[in-house]
Amino acid sequence: MCEDRTDGAADGATPAPVGLPTLASLDEVANLVTRRRGLYVRWSRGPQCDLPTVTSTDDLTGMKLPGLSATPLDIEDWWGQRSAHVWVARRLYDYCHLPRVKDSRTRPWILHGRETARGPDNEPLVTDVEPIGWVARHVIDEACRIVVTLPGRWGPMDRGTSA
């Protein structure tokens, strides 16, 4: 069982678990992504819950997977000179529905790791995990504002809303 150890949050937001810094702006996340490769965002209850086993569970089958399911943050070459902010906003936005549909304690955190396999949804499964930091809630809100103002039909990867 995962034990929640938290610091109080002065702004009324969900308290951040002890020992991991919080990335407080989209600029900070985008700058990190442009300076370092091998970064991922994971939506979970945090490293204190994930690192003892470094496994994920496939929701459909219940099968244990050999690594943490995560979204890669590395900017692909085909993205060209487009905005790193838009790239990062999209990556953060894709799973922003998880706290609502899975567990209200689910939060995004950035990690560095090594892709060891692919899961049943073709998602990277990551091992050799180094936690980097939590992503503040207002950063996710900013990412959502950016994505919904872009042209095209964008939406989070929420299968529950599909027909």
For the chain, give every domain's residue range: 22-153
Q: Identify whether the C-beta of residue 113 lies closer than 8 Å to the C-beta of residue 50.
A: no
pLDDT digits (tens), the chain, 163 positions: 565 444 433 333 444 455 799 999 999 999 999 999 999 999 999 999 999 999 999 888 999 999 999 999 999 999 999 999 999 999 999 888 888 888 889 999 999 999 999 999 899 999 999 999 999 999 999 998 998 888 776 555 554 544 3
pTM for this prediction? 0.83
Crossing angle of helices 84-93/137-149, nearest 10°? 110
In this structure, which amino acid lies at residue 1?
Answer: M
Query: Cα separation of 61 and 46, whole Å?
Result: 23
